[in-house]
Amino acid sequence: MIKGIIFDLDGVLVSTDELHYQAWKKLAMDLGIMGFTKEDNARQKGVSRMDSLEIVLEKGNKRYSDEEKLTFADQKNNFYIELLQRLTDDAVLAGVKETLIMLRKKGLLIGIGSVSKNTPLILEKTGLKSYIDQISCGLDISKSKPDPEVFLVAAKKLGLLPVQCLVIEDSKAGIIAAKAANMRSLGVGPEYEQLGADYKYKNLQCEIDWDSILNS
Ligand code: BG6
Ligand code: MG
């Protein structure tokens, strides 16, 4: 029986992909890397900031020290935070608020499991904070998805066992992490059919058979 739902943030609750893309693209251009595309950006889904940076740098032909890489990641994050200042509840994806309200009415606990260190800012800006019971994010963990740490921390904060949690994700790394955490998973987003999730729905606006999922 499922007692808590752990939501990924980027691409599941809010639409931030374009902002991540713009910030990485600006960094790439500043470094003289011209070939960074939206397809490369799609590979950054669910991937930590430093691993995402490697996806940008592999499009160029220079090698950088760890110190330089940290500076580049900070640069990207500064652009990204500038863009996040303009975020409003318009960025909340279709069906999200209704789903959160409905699940809470059913007595479920709601958690966030996101590797983004900007999770608190995004929840604040979009007004989603009041719908969430516990947050597990990049600030709480040392290993990024596909490691299960972020979901295990979320379950612990919610006071639940992993088997009592359902993860909702839009990335392959996230579904692998959910399985490694011994949690069931529901995949959404443009690649929902290819993620390997236990339950597959295009988005949270779909007619989801919650009763059978929650009682399974
Ligand atoms: C994930 C995104 O949620 O957070 C990734 O899908 C991103 O694209 C990662 O790299 C880390 O985010 P941040 O905000 O800490 O740089
Ligand atoms: Mg995501």
Among 15, 22, 47, 93, name the best residue to mutate to test ligand 1's pocket (greatest count of ligand atoms within 8 A of Cβ).
Answer: 47
* 8-state DSSP, 187: E
pLDDT in tens, 67-107: 999 999 999 999 999 999 999 999 999 999 999 999 999 99
ipTM over 0.95: yes
- Tell me the β-bridge partners of 136: 113
Q: Which of 124, 128, 169 is nearest to 151 (CA)?
A: 169
pLDDT in tens, 159-213: 999 999 999 999 999 999 999 999 999 999 999 999 999 999 999 999 999 999 9
CA-nearest residue for atom 2, ligand 1, is 46
Q: CA-to-CA distance for 12 and 145, rounded, in angstroms?
A: 15
Tell whether ligand 1 has an atom less than 6 A from the beta carbon of residue 52: yes
Q: Is a pLDDT exceeding 90 seen at residue 61?
A: no
Q: Please give the distance, rounded to the nearest whole angstrom, from the Cα atom of residue 108 to the centre of ligand 2.
A: 21
Does residue 10 carry a catalytic annotation?
yes
What would the two tokens of residue 18 be?
Answer: 């374009």
Tell whether ligand 1 has an atom less than 6 A from the beta carbon of residue 10: yes
Percentage of residues of the chain with pLDDT beyond 70: 100
Does residue 30 carry a catalytic annotation?
no
Q: Please give the distance, rounded to the nearest whole angstrom, from the Cα atom of residue 115 to the centre of ligand 1.
A: 6
What would the two tokens of residue 116 be?
Answer: 């983004």
Helix (H, G, I), strand (E, B) or coil at 47: coil
Average pLDDT, the chain: 97
Within 31-65, residue ranges assigned H as helices are 38-42, 49-57
Indicate left, alpha or beta for 213 from its phi (over 0: left) and psi (-120 to 50: alpha).
Answer: alpha
